[in-house]
């Protein structure tokens, strides 16, 4: 199966690439199923992909012809079933299967985003308006969770910089703050009696990190709109940082001059730093970060691979942190 998927990935990064639409993904998956006689779960996955995308028509149209990106990795993609069935989204529960199981009542449409703080244009904008005129790209990125597992995910989205520029941030804006929607009636984790973290979930990027060309605002995955468990309808993807920086279901964006604490810094600053750059040389206090489990593993092999500094994106981003001691600013 991996060989098949690899072929797809390579095709996706060639300049003359014609975008792999949903039908092509399905065909590729079916081929790989036939070739490697996959277990039942994978059959289920292609069933999920075959289902009609529930997003509104304007969004389906907007996602229909994405541009391939030179930033896409050639690593084999993680199958859809893992990307959408093994998730961290504490608002829906803390088990990996909870977001898919308990996220189905969440309503990502209609959606609006409130932009505030140090920018010329602030206010509340409908999602269609937020995305209007911005070209959708497919970016196949590695995602490395701080828990030492990883995936390779074909996102659809827009460079965050192109979205933020619309609001004309002022020179006093030094950081961008992102906030997940607070909807306890649709998010069982937010109304739980005991919570590991405070809600709403908050993440922060330095302005130069936010404007970096690799930073993506994702609106889709595998050729279709984001499922709820992956952060519908709008989530951040910062591929050189641990996954917890990639905040989901964003409803507020604010430009500020002082850095507020992020959700995970507040929960446990010793374990989760502000920068959260993927770094095999700086251990988490409770485990090493030198290796990761690239999903899917199998019964016989956890598929452990060495973790790369900045998750393999050092060439693009190392310059952002020149002169910074990464073991202090983890």
- Exposed, middle or buried by CB within 10 Å (0-12, 13-18, 19+), for 58? middle
**Whole-angstrom Cα distance, residue 304 to residue 295?**
9
Q: State yes or no: residue 111 binds ligand MTE (CB under 6 A).
A: no
Q: State yes or no: residue 246 binds ligand MTE (CB under 6 A).
A: yes
Q: Which residues are within 8 A (CB) of 319 and not within 5 positions of it... i.e. 6 or more apart?
A: none
Q: What single string gives the DSSP state of each residue in 234-274?
A: -EEE-TTB-GGGS--SEEEEEEESS-PPPHHHHH-TTTS-S
Asked if residue 296 has a cis previous peptide bond (ω within 30° of 0), the answer is yes
Helix (H, G, I), strand (E, B) or coil at 115: strand
Question: Among 83-91, 126-134, 268-276, 320-328, which window interacts with ligand MTE (CB under 6 A)?
Answer: 83-91
Q: State yes or no: residue 4 binds ligand MTE (CB under 6 A).
A: no
**Whole-angstrom Cα distance, residue 298 to residue 201?**
33
Nearest CB to ligand MTE, comparing residues 66 and 85: 85
Q: State yes or no: residue 247 binds ligand MTE (CB under 6 A).
A: yes
Q: State yes or no: residue 262 binds ligand MTE (CB under 6 A).
A: no
Q: State yes or no: residue 141 binds ligand MTE (CB under 6 A).
A: no
Q: Which residues are within 8 A (CB) of 325 and not within 5 positions of it... i.e. 6 or more apart?
A: none
Q: State yes or no: residue 150 binds ligand MTE (CB under 6 A).
A: no
Nearest CB to ligand MTE, comparing residues 13 and 148: 148
> 77 and 153 in contact (C-beta within 8 Å)?
yes
CB of 246 to ligand MTE, least distance (A): 5
> 223 and 20 in contact (C-beta within 8 Å)?
yes
The DSSP bridge partners found for residue 144 are 150
The single residue among 4, 32, 69, 180 that binds ligand MTE, judged by CB under 6 A, is 180
- x/- mask, ligand MTE, residues 214-233, rule CB under 6 A, reads ----------------x---
CB of 163 to ligand MTE, least distance (A): 18
The DSSP bridge partners found for residue 158 are 217
- Strands (DSSP E) contained in the chain are 67-68, 112-117, 123-126, 137-144, 149-159, 175-180, 202-206, 216-221, 224-225, 235-237, 250-256, 291-294, 304-306
- x/- mask, ligand MTE, residues 181-220, rule CB under 6 A, reads --------------------x-------------------
Q: State yes or no: residue 90 binds ligand MTE (CB under 6 A).
A: yes
Nearest CB to ligand MTE, comparing residues 32 and 229: 229
Q: State yes or no: residue 88 binds ligand MTE (CB under 6 A).
A: yes
Nearest CB to ligand MTE, comparing residues 146 and 207: 146
**Whole-angstrom Cα distance, residue 282 to residue 56?**
44
CB of 138 to ligand MTE, least distance (A): 16
End-to-end Cα spacing for the chain:
36
Nearest CB to ligand MTE, comparing residues 9 and 180: 180
CB of 230 to ligand MTE, least distance (A): 4
Size of the site for ligand MTE (CB under 6 A): 15
Q: State yes or no: residue 248 binds ligand MTE (CB under 6 A).
A: yes
**Chain contacts with ligand MTE (rule: CB under 6 A):** 87-91, 143, 145, 180, 201, 230, 243-244, 246-248
């Amino acid at each position: 199966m991996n060989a098949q998927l690899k072929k797809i990935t390579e095709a996706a990064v060639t300049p003359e690439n014609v975008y792999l639409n949903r039908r092509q993904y399905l065909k590729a998956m079916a081929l790989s199923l036939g070739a490697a006689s996959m277990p039942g779960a994978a059959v289920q996955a292609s069933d999920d992909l075959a289902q009609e995308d529930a997003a509104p028509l304007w969004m389906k149209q907007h996602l229909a012809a994405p541009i391939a990106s030179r930033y896409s990795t050639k690593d084999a993609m993680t199958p859809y079933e893992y990307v959408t069935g093994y998730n961290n989204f504490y608002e829906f529960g803390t088990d990996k299967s909870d977001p898919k199981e308990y996220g189905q009542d969440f309503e990502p449409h209609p959606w609006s985003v409130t932009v505030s703080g140090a920018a010329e244009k602030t206010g509340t904008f409908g999602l269609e308006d937020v995305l209007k005129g911005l070209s959708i790209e497919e970016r196949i990125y590695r995602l490395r969770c701080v828990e030492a597992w990883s995936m390779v995910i074909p996102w659809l989205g827009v460079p965050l910089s192109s979205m933020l520029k619309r609001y004309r941030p002022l020179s006093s804006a030094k950081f961008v703050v992102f906030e997940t929607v607070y909807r306890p009636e649709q998010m069982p984790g937010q109304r739980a009696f005991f919570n590991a973290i405070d809600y709403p979930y908050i993440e922060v990027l330095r302005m130069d990190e936010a404007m970096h060309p690799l930073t993506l605002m994702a609106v889709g995955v595998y050729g279709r709109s984001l499922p709820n468990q992956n952060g519908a309808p709008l989530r951040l993807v910062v591929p050189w940082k641990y996954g917890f920086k990639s905040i989901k279901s964003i409803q507020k964006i604010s430009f500020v001059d002082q850095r507020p604490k992020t959700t995970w810094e507040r929960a446990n600053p010793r374990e989760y730093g502000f920068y959260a750059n993927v770094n095999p040389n700086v251990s988490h206090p409770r485990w090493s970060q030198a290796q990761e489990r690239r999903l899917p593993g199998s019964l016989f092999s956890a598929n452990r691979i060495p973790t790369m500094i900045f998750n393999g994106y050092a060439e693009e981003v190392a310059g952002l942190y020149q002169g910074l001691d990464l073991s202090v600013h983890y």
